[in-house]
Structure 1
Amino acid sequence: MMIKSFTDILAAMGYVINTERENFSLKFIMELLGTGVLIITVFSYCREIHKKLELRKENEQLTRENAQLMRENEQCTKENEQLKREIERKKAQFKSAWREIPLYADWRKEEFETVNLTLDAATAHPALFLSEEGRRVTWQEPSQELPSCSQRFVSLPCVLGQLHVSSGRYFWEVEVQNAHSWDLGVCRNNVARNGRVTMSPQNGFWAIRLYEGEYWCLTSPETSLTLKEKPCSVGVFLDYEAGDVSFYNMTDGSHIFTFSKQTFYGVLRPLFRLWSSDSGPLIIVQMQENTMRL
């Protein structure tokens, strides 16, 4: 057994020994011991075994660490998914509650009256066609032959809403998703309908505009607007006593612009304008009264 073990050791160190033919004797082993070769061989072999054992331990440790990292990664993934669901839930809560909170701190508990607005056909420019229920306006060519009326817009392709406001707070919403060039806002009931008219607060107009892909506020001079998201519908908030007209993107609830502390007198009315036959339609959103939807 001793000789066989040494043979294996020598073979492991590169000594090729044919055990069937080799007349391996104790004398030869003793000679190796005398020269120190066997001792060195055994020592080298043991050192190699030690290295292999250390490597095995390191690999096992790495395997355990990788398994731990995988478990931690799975946990992080679950937490991220949970966080995403929580964010979506909070966003949904925000949208559902957005109508119930005041848009400005100084408004506090007071509410806007939501109106189911319709369009006033007597004010419509001849190029504008109103739907039967009076909630949709489109451009029509050729222009209609309409009876002469002092309330009708002749130079500006506008139409007014039926609502007449001389006090209080009102809200209405207009779908603009398929409209490409439009003006929305409010104006005094006595604004000029004929001749050259500049739409500005000085002339009794408080409105925003989409024209050639750019959004503007019709201040004097006009103010360029940058919107985070293109609105599918626009909400108009009118506070007569405060002199405020605010516009909101009802798609994401973001604020577009506010005319604040204006001097209102007389009657104000909702204003709608299209620019050409390819402007697309403006549609008044029908809602339950005293309910503002997002």
Structure 2
Amino acid sequence: MCFKENTTKYHIIIAIFGIIILILLGLFIYKYYCKKNDNKNEDHLEENGFQQEIARRKAQYKAAWRKAQLYPDWRKEEFQAVNVTLDEDTAHPSLLLSENRRRVTWQESHQDLSSSTQRFDSLPCVLGQQHISSGRSFWEVKVKDAPTWDLGICLNNVKRKGKVTLSPQHGFWAIRFYNREYWALTSPETCLTVREIPHSVGIFLDYEDGDVSFYNMTDGSHIFSFTKNTFSGALRPLLRLWSSAPGTLTICPMGEENGGAINITEQEK
């Protein structure tokens, strides 16, 4: 009898412990899933907060985009993409243009080209066919295949024969990559700090505001801006290669991803 009572008590104790373990296990599982849901909610809130912060910054940028030197992708929304093509009548005899006039390559031998008052005969430069005299425009140039280069804009009536100085005082607004250093062609020249070597450079021109800005399209960083200029006359895209380190520059096609590009012809002066 005593043995049966002890066995019964033992079973009761085991059952109680089992119930307690099940309760504790249930609490553990409940807390685990509660914590998991809390983490999901926190992640969701953080994501929402991040998106709201991006939206806030973008709104601030749009309110004063001229002062901003960040986010070229946002800046594109305020500018019109231009399909730039190169003008063979302006190309130095050592510059070879591709059939579609979007690529320029240095070659050692001079081409037998027709005489043109528009052609550069000392500096290996070429101009875009486009004449820009209003609005906000941008285009991109692939530079990774050229160890040295100059990029920018110039007035349509700049000097092209003999000694030519690339500076704003002479109608040129450009930057340079030479001997692994970046320069703004101010007077005197300004040495620039570039965080990452660009594979392509974006040129943003605001004609009315007198602003020419250059962006590293590889990492989205701002390179340099010429500001507070007063332009008088049409401006044209400018590309230059160097005989000391021949290479190739390619104008990037501007299509649907840039909101649709416009084609400005030589007659639109």
TM-score, normalisation: structure 1: 0.64
Rate the CA distance shift 1:224–1:277 in 2: closer, same or farther, 3 A: closer
Alignment match, 1:269 = 236
- For the Cα contact (< 8 Å) 1:141–1:277, is it kept in 2? no
The structure with more radius of gyration: 1
107, 113, 122: which one aligns with 1:146: 113
Q: Cα deviation per residue 1:53-78 (whole Å; 9 max; x = unaligned)?
A: xxxxxxxxxxxxxxxxxxxxxx9xx9
> 1:103, 1:281 → 2: CA distance?
33
Alignment match, 1:213 = 180
Q: How many residues are treated as equivalent by the alignment?
A: 207
| RMSD of Structure 2 on Structure 1 (CA) | 3.2
Structure number with greater CO (CA < 8 Å, separation at least 6) is 2
> 1:172, 1:110 → 2: CA distance?
13
Q: Which amino acid aligns with 2:233?
A: G
**1:157-236 map, 5 Å:** 157-236=124-203
Q: Which amino acid aligns with 1:283?
A: T
Alignment match, 1:63 = none
Give the deviation of 1:140 after TM superposition: 1.1
SS at match of 1:216: strand
SS at match of 1:104: helix
> What is the aligned-residue identity percentage?
63
- For the Cα contact (< 8 Å) 2:153–2:236, is it kept in 1? yes
> 1:225, 1:109 → 2: CA distance?
23
Within the alignment, does 1:278 sit opposite 2:245 as a pair?
A: yes
Q: Cα deviation per residue 1:170-229 (whole Å; 9 max; x = unaligned)?
A: 000000112111000000011111111111000000000001111000000000001011
101, 104, 109: which one aligns with 2:66: 104
> 2:172, 2:154 → 1: CA distance?
4
Alignment match, 1:248 = 215
Alignment match, 2:93 = 126
TM-score, normalisation: structure 2: 0.69
> 1:254, 1:103 → 2: CA distance?
15
Rate the CA distance shift 1:261–1:137 in 2: closer, same or farther, 3 A: same
